[in-house]
Amino acid sequence: MTSKVYFLSWDMRNELYNFLKSAMIFNHVKSRNLLAIKIHFGEDGNEGYIKPKYVLPVVKIAREKNAYPFLTDASTIYVGKRSDACHHLLTANKHGFTVEKCECPIIIADGLRGNTEEKIEVNLKHFKTVTIAREIYNADNFIFMSHFKGHEITGFGGALKNIGMGCGSKAGKYAMHHLSKPTINQKLCGGCGTCVKHCYQKALSLVNKKIAMDKEKCAGCGQCIVNCIFKVFKLKWNEDPPAVQEKIIEYAAGVLKDKKSTYVNFLNHISKYCDCFALAKNEPLMNDVGIVAGIDPVSVDQASYDLVNKAFGKNFFKEIYPEIDPTIQLKYAQELGLGNRNYELVKY
């Protein structure tokens, strides 16, 4: 059995509305549905997010079905410009996600401080219950718009990560990240203090010009790994990334429980790191590829993974993260019945 996945090349991106209409992947959107369009509003200083103009075709289709769409995301666990609803909305507004430009409201799904949440029973390997943002729980159905790129813990981030990690409340994000706390090799430390400046949890300090970590304060967000030029910080690659990937998938299973969705992945500005990092070095490492859509999140991510590797000429994700097997998330998602890795690619 295979799932149909629809592909629009990047040079035809202005045909997004017609492409999505022709794919007929919005049958789950019903009249009067409170429809959550889950998206990343972009970290301040990072260009690797889906731009507001690409939201409009999706909103238009939803409104044609007499649904009530809204854009949404949940708070970050690191203390930055998306860690509470006030600053998150200001950042979204700065990046053009406004009612005027997107023609729908913007709602931060886990409330003012990121603790407005609901628990969903899943009874899986890592979690019995998952803790997700309340307005995700309250939505009738979903459309997930995801920017496909590399990720320092999961190898790549696409639809599945947008569902699982993206829809967790702060408590949920901590639960998924807690194993990903790095170890420190003080011998490599140059004492520059850059990582201290970027540690939003204030878990790092310099002691006698060498870095020290308070593990209790560490959120496992990875800012130190990305910002250290001396490679002081390391994860246990044989343990942590596989478990984190599986935890994200279990959260995705909770989010999607009794709900239906459409998935739209943007394969552009394909960078090494997560879009949560406001870094000049988080520039694209290859040419833009296109847009992938479907109703199966596993096949949409699998097709995205394959298309990026094909365009790159070899395994892009193995090139940037040789220690990580990013397909663990795909295998586990299929095992849990979230979708199928086998797909038929339909080009527009």
pLDDT tens-digit series, residues 164-214: 999 999 889 988 887 667 889 999 999 999 899 878 678 999 999 999 999
Mean pLDDT, the chain, whole residue set: 93
Q: Which helix (H) or strand (E) holds 264?
A: strand 261-267
For the record, the structure tokens of 143 come out as 């459309």
C-beta separation of 110 from 170 below 8 A: yes
pLDDT tens-digit series, residues 126-175: 999 999 999 999 999 999 999 999 998 899 999 999 999 999 998 899 88
CA distance 197 to 213: 13
C-beta separation of 229 from 191 below 8 A: no
pTM of the model: 0.88
14 by DSSP, 3-state: which?
helix
- Of 62, 67, 116, 68, the closest CA to residue 88 belongs to 116
CA distance 69 to 290: 24
Neighbours of 76 (CB within 10 A): 21
- Of 206, 341, 271, 240, the closest CA to residue 49 belongs to 271
| Higher pLDDT pick, 175 / 318 | 318
pLDDT band at 49 (very low <50, low <70, confident <90, very high): very high
Which DSSP category does 181 fall into?
P
Q: With respect to CATH, is domain 3-176+239-347 assigned 1.10.150.530? A: no
347 by DSSP, 3-state: which?
strand
Q: Cβ neighbours of residue 240 under 8 Å, at least 6 residues apart?
A: 153, 179, 180
Residue ranges matching CATH 3.40.50.11440 in the chain: 3-176+239-347
pLDDT recorded at residue 277:
75
pLDDT recorded at residue 259:
96
Residue ranges matching CATH 3.30.70.20 in the chain: 181-234
User: What CATH architecture does domain 181-234 belong to?
Assistant: 2-Layer Sandwich (3.30)
48 by DSSP, 3-state: which?
coil
pLDDT recorded at residue 237:
47
